[in-house]
Structure 1
Amino acid sequence: MEFRHYQDVQEFAVKAEPVVSEREDVYSLFFGVLQAIKAGRYDTPFMATIEEEGQVLALFQMTPPHPLNLIFTNDKRLEECMDLLIRNLLELEIEMNSIISLKPWAYLFSEKWEVKTGMTRKVLMDQGLYRLDTVDETLVPSPGSWRFALQGDCPLIEKWFNLFEEDAGLPLTAKKDVKKRVESFVANQEIFLWEHDKVVVSMMKKARPTNHGVTVSLVFTPKEQRKKGYARTMVAAGTKELLKKYDFCVLYTDLMNPTANKIYQEIGYKRIADSVQLGFR
């Protein structure tokens, strides 16, 4: 069993893509971020595998300051792989403040990490992963229509970006970084807006496309426009548009928010996995 730390994303992709392609929906986050690394969007990614006789037993990926993503392919060798990973993280002095993974893997890692480092874990996001192949056409839409965001919408989207982070309990991104990211989102037609009576009332974002699927993220409606069905209608319409190009859509939900989980299921999203992001301090 060998831990391999990769510097070349193309070499890493040769090992990683066959694994994540087998469960493209469940591993959509890992797969989508890998495509972004290949496109040069991250400067200092951490990429590693655990391999034995040509077989990939585990995959690891991190784009600081985002969490370390963990995938394991052999449950019988799970604890061995965890121990080898932790030993190498410490030896390589990899700065790692949080992880994201399927729940059983994340909690087992955290138990071992706490013993080795003395750190304590905290649940940052308890998430359900949902997949949709067909939108429920019986839904009654809220009034209005969708459109792609335009350059003039950027100030509003920047404001909503930080409000979304506040609602999710995430660290706030610096305003200059938000501005740069939103400009890129809009230029690439990644932001969908729902508009009613010439007022933008809700938004969603296309994110992390893979070979056959794409992620819906950054779903946000300001407080004064909530409980009117706008978010559900926006996601339904946006998802339907994305399905013209992709076979399926996935999204992550906060399991502590029953309203969000309910509306996504009404659209046709089905829960396929449970994921958790754990922070360490």
Structure 2
Amino acid sequence: MKFQRYKNAKDFATIATPFLEKNEDKFSLFLGVLQAINDGKYEDPYMATIEEEGELLALFQMTPPHPLNIIFVNENRMEECIELSINELIQQSISINSIISVKEWAYAFAHRWQEKTGQSFSVLMDQGLYRLDKVDESLEKSPGSWRYATHGDAPLIEKWYSQFEKDTGLLNTAPAEIKKRVKVMLDAKEVFLWENQGQIVSMMKKSRPTANGVTVSLVFTPKEERKKGYARTMVAAGSKELLKEFQFCVLYTDMLNSTSNKIYQEIGYQKLIDSVHLGFEQ
């Protein structure tokens, strides 16, 4: 059993992609980020595998400051893989602020990491990963209509981006960086807006497209417009539009937010796996 770190993204992709594409919905985050790494969108990514006699056992990927994403390909070998990977990460002096993975896998890794390093961990977000193949057409719609965001909407989207981070407990991104990210989103026509009587009341974003699927993210409605069904209608309409190009949509939800989980299921999203984002004390 060998832990192999990769400096070349194409070499790592050659090993990882066949497995990821067979599980394109469950591991869309890992696959989407890997595609972005290949496109040169991240500097100094961490990429590693555990293999044995040509068999892939585990995958590791991190684009600091984002979490280490962990996949155990062979669950029967998980404990061995955890032990080997932690030893290697410590030896290589790799700093890990947080991890994201299938819930069971993440907790198993985190407990052993804590034993080895003394770093305690906490839940940053208890997540559910959902998949949609068809929007429920019987869904009651809120008044208004959707459109793609334009560069004229940038100031509002930048403001909502910051508010979204605060609401979800994410690290606060500097305003200048948010401005850059929003420009990239708008250039790529990735942001959908719901508008009612000339007022923008909700948004969502298209993220990480893969061969057959796409992720819905950055779903946000300002507090004064909540409880009016706008988010549900926006996600339903945006997802329906995306399904014209892709076979399925996926999205992550905060499992502690019963409202969001309920509205996504009403649209037609069905849970694939339980996931968790765990943070380590530094």
Partners in 1 of 2:76 and 2:224 — Cα distance?
A: 51
Q: Is 2:257 the partner of 1:257?
A: yes
Instruction: Return the alpha-carbon distance in structure 2 between the equivalents of residues 136 and 113 of structure 1.
Output: 43
Report what 1:180 is aligned to.
180
Render the CA deviation track for 1:168-193: whole Å, top value 9, x for unaligned: 01111110100000000011000000
How is 1:81-100 mapped onto 2 (pairs within 5 angstroms)? 81-100=81-100
Is it true that 1:240 corresponds to 2:255 in the alignment?
no
- 5 Å-filtered alignment, 1:137-152, equals 137-152=137-152
What is the CA deviation profile of residues 211-266 of structure 1, one whole-angstrom value per residue up to 9, with x for unaligned ones? 10000000000000001100000000000000011000000000000000000000
1:80-229 correspondence to structure 2 within 5 Å = 80-229=80-229
Taking the aligned partners of 1:77 and 1:266, their CA distance within structure 2 comes to 38
Offset of residue 141 of structure 1: 1.0
Q: How far apart in 2 are the matches of 1:105 and 1:139?
A: 36
Deviations, residues 21-52 of structure 1 (Å, cap 9, x unaligned): 11111101001101111111001100000000
**CA–CA distance in structure 1, aligned partners of residues 210 and 47 of structure 2:** 18
Which amino acid counterpart does residue 41 of structure 1 have in structure 2?
Answer: K
State the alpha-carbon separation in 2 of the partners of residues 44 and 155 from structure 1: 31
Correspondence list, 1:264-275, <5 A: 264-275=264-275
Counterpart of 1:224 in structure 2: which amino acid? E
CA distance in structure 2 between the aligned counterparts of 1:29 and 1:37, rounded to whole angstroms: 12
Q: Secondary structure at the match of 2:218?
A: strand
1:280 corresponds to:
280
Counting only pairs closer than 5 Å after superposition, residues 19-30 of structure 1 correspond to structure 2 as 19-30=19-30
Tell me, in whole angstroms, the C-alpha distance in 2 between the residues paired with 1:207 and 1:197. 28
| Aligned CA-pair RMSD | 0.6
In 1: Cα distance, 2:104 partner to 2:63 partner: 22
The equivalent of 2:42 in structure 1 is 42
State whether structure 2 residue 13 is matched by structure 1 residue 13. Answer: yes
SS of 2:186's equivalent? helix
What amino acid sits opposite 2:218 in the alignment? L
Partners of 2:252 and 2:75 in 1: CA distance:
24
Question: With structure 1 as the length reference, what TM-score do the two structures score?
Answer: 0.99
Partner of 1:3: 3
**Structure 1 position 32 matched with structure 2 position 32:** yes
Structure 1: segments with no counterpart, 5+ residues: none
Q: Which amino acid aligns with 2:153?
A: D
Q: Which amino acid aligns with 1:185?
A: M
> Secondary structure of the residue that 1:141 maps to in structure 2?
coil
User: TM-score, normalised to structure 2's length?
Assistant: 0.99
> 3-state SS of the aligned residue for 1:209?
coil
Q: CA offset at residue 98 of structure 1?
A: 0.2
Alignment length, in residue pairs? 281
CA distance in 1, matches of 2:265, 2:96: 34
Moved over 4 A (4+): none
**Counterpart Cα distance in 2 of 1:158 and 1:256:** 26
- Percent of residue pairs identical: 63
Deviation string for 1:122-157 (max 9, x for gaps)? 100100000000000011211111011000100000
Query: How far is the alpha carbon of 1:73 from its aligned partner?
Result: 1.2
Query: Which string of whole-angstrom CA distances, capped at 9 and with x for unpartnered residues, describes residues 186-211 of structure 1?
Result: 11000000001111000000001111
Give SS of 2:147's match.
Answer: strand
